[in-house]
Structure 1
């Protein structure tokens, strides 16, 4: 049974190995120079915000001197989101569906192999290949992007590259161990959908829709609840500092960049001196063209506003990584049990 399963999966394994080899070579050829830029910029030793800001500028100039590195950065993120989807669609969904659709299970299950053993061997070998492939890809991408991720978690990052840090929703799911858990879940989800739908192409389409929904809902709705967020209020003094002001009738919206290196900022609200949300009234200096922008800024400063920032600190990054990975693995285990129960109830006639 194991040898037969290997013969059926070996084409997928060799294809995955080929992709992994190409990705590894490309990242190896470009990653060394990126690490050298990080070291030469001084980011590895800076402490004060001013020193880190200057180092960020040097590092950003070196990275942006070649369009290839920014492209590879976002290509790596896309690859780590596409890999679980491809595994779920092309490895998981057809695994049982292509046996059910033509009825070849009738032959397999009338031999000496039990249904449970048939499912366990096929699931086990495919899942092992899926997890190992994703783990190696994630390791290669995470190591290559390490200098960029570390730069995004240091003070003064707003003076360097305009890239999200590794805790940001876009990047978080494409780094370290989360893609591995995601791949395991995607594979078993595809198997479960194929078992229920019984049509390979339809199962692939349904699996893609579910995985796309999961990739949107987890960072947007679920992830922020792993730990209660922290909050801090900072004075909103805009004169002489970067800021944005928007006036819509009697509604005033003003904001400034938030400096919490490496943190995942979930919300930023403008509040008054008592801590209540502020939207107006709008100072006359901000509505009349007779006043210069500096007068508007001074009027906003006199309001003594603040910014209430809600965030997950950088120190929780690995807590969130392991929590999300564990969640995906538990879902995969639950779906595996569902498949085991459902396949025992299938009738061959």
Structure 2
């Protein structure tokens, strides 16, 4: 009698789930956030388009007016300045918008999984937790970058007449982070902080608060050291450079810095008054009733007024610098999140 030897069939290796299907799952999870953000940004876009077109029309009227020093032209300029130089509370909304978009998008992605316990299902379905995290977080970062990039481009278009009129400086603390490409960096940073905080807190609301608080604190610090990305320029010209951001003003005599008290003593001895109007040594003398000009007096007596500033021509250089370090920090935080997810027990 013959015997038949059965050869064991090698187990069939399971094929990994295609990235396209993972992307579809990611879309299903994030579509509510994406559609809600698009709706809100659509309302903001309508507002910016309407007011931007009105502003451009008013600015074109100012530019077309001749002669420039006439009463009619001065009226048009004053009307344009008074109407558009103070945007009000909407400026604060635009300033915080990138951080809000990034934080609200990033905080729930992992924090909600851990809070509800659904990570036990998501991490054990053969996808692999790292592939699952990449499919979840990378598309979210791309969407945040695209949305805030479009927002920043629209704000730049809206504010361009204010830049041309030198009503608003592009390097200003309220203008710079919401325009150009830096706005993308701020949203990505808030997104990355929200994702990592969601993993560490295992809750959505604490992660959201952490992302917003961290973003606001870092934005405040950046508003102070941003003007030192490159060495400031110095000038002793009394003419303000259009489009530039003044950093500091001070007076010197014989190459030595003169304090405000010494300036006051010098001016008072000549019967001239001076008023200190701000920090950083910035002073503005005022003319008394006898007609003596304080600035002219100081200049004629060996004093020199210096101003340090950043020229408006460095706007895009500073934009790329800020975008670079913000994006690099966001990448480090996301990489840390991936590493922690891979090491965490399901």
Please say whether Structure 1 and Structure 2 have the same fold, judged by a TM-score greater than 0.5. yes
Could you say which residue in structure 2 is the equivalent of 1:37? 58
Query: Would you say 1:183 and 2:187 are equivalent positions?
Result: yes
Moved over 6 A (4+): 52-56
Could you say which residue in structure 2 is the equivalent of 1:286? 272
Structure 2 spans left out of the alignment, 5+ residues: 1-21, 274-287
Instruction: Tell me the distance in 2 between the aligned counterparts of 1:309 and 1:92.
Output: 43
**For 1:169, what is the secondary structure of its paired residue?**
coil
**After superposition, what is the alpha-carbon deviation per residue over 1:72-98, rounded to whole angstroms, capped at 9, x for unaligned?**
x45553233222221233211121111
CA 269–191 in structure 1, closer or farther in 2 if over 3 Å, else same: same
Query: Would you say 1:165 and 2:165 are equivalent positions?
Result: no
Could you say which residue in structure 2 is the equivalent of 1:192? 196
Instruction: Tell me the distance in 2 between the aligned counterparts of 1:59 and 1:114.
Output: 65
Shift of 1:192: 1.0
Counterpart pick for 1:23 among 44, 48, 64:
44
Shift of 1:190: 0.8
Could you say which residue in structure 2 is the equivalent of 1:224? 227
Could you say which residue in structure 2 is the equivalent of 1:122? 136
Bigger Rg, structure 1 or 2: 2
CA 54–116 in structure 1, closer or farther in 2 if over 3 Å, else same: farther
Shift of 1:116: 1.1
**After superposition, what is the alpha-carbon deviation per residue over 1:240-285, rounded to whole angstroms, capped at 9, x for unaligned?**
xxxxxxxxxxxxxxxxxx5111112111112224343343133321
Counterpart pick for 1:209 among 205, 213, 218:
213
Q: Is contact 1:89-1:207 (8 Å) kept?
A: yes
Query: Would you say 1:309 and 2:307 are equivalent positions?
Result: yes
Shift of 1:300: 4.0
Shift of 1:339: 0.9
**After superposition, what is the alpha-carbon deviation per residue over 1:268-321, rounded to whole angstroms, capped at 9, x for unaligned?**
11222434334313332137xxx8453473754543322111111121111111
CA 311–55 in structure 1, closer or farther in 2 if over 3 Å, else same: farther
Instruction: Tell me the distance in 2 between the aligned counterparts of 1:29 and 1:228.
Output: 39
> What's the RMSD between the two structures over aligned residues?
2.9
Could you say which residue in structure 1 is the equivalent of 2:91? 77
Instruction: Tell me the distance in 1 between the aligned counterparts of 2:141 and 2:189.
Output: 9
Instruction: Tell me the distance in 2 between the aligned counterparts of 1:56 and 1:203.
Output: 53
Could you say which residue in structure 1 is the equivalent of 2:241? 260
**After superposition, what is the alpha-carbon deviation per residue over 1:329-349, rounded to whole angstroms, capped at 9, x for unaligned?**
11111111111111111112x
Instruction: Tell me the distance in 2 between the aligned counterparts of 1:53 and 1:92.
Output: 55
Q: Is contact 2:62-2:77 (8 Å) kept?
A: no
TM-score by length of 1: 0.79
Instruction: Tell me the distance in 2 between the aligned counterparts of 1:52 and 1:180.
Output: 42
CA 347–122 in structure 1, closer or farther in 2 if over 3 Å, else same: same
CA 206–52 in structure 1, closer or farther in 2 if over 3 Å, else same: farther
**For 2:246, what is the secondary structure of its paired residue?**
strand
1:265-344, aligned counterparts within 5 Å? 265-279=246-260, 280=262, 281-283=265-267, 284=269, 285-286=271-272, 292-295=289-292, 297=294, 299-344=297-342
**For 1:269, what is the secondary structure of its paired residue?**
strand
Instruction: Tell me the distance in 1 between the aligned counterparts of 2:73 and 2:216.
Output: 35
Shift of 1:103: 2.1
TM-score by length of 2: 0.79
Instruction: Tell me the distance in 2 between the aligned counterparts of 1:206 and 1:173.
Output: 20
Could you say which residue in structure 1 is the equivalent of 2:276? none
Could you say which residue in structure 2 is the equivalent of 1:7? 28
Instruction: Tell me the distance in 1 between the aligned counterparts of 2:62 and 2:345.
Output: 66
Counterpart pick for 1:98 among 112, 119, 136:
112
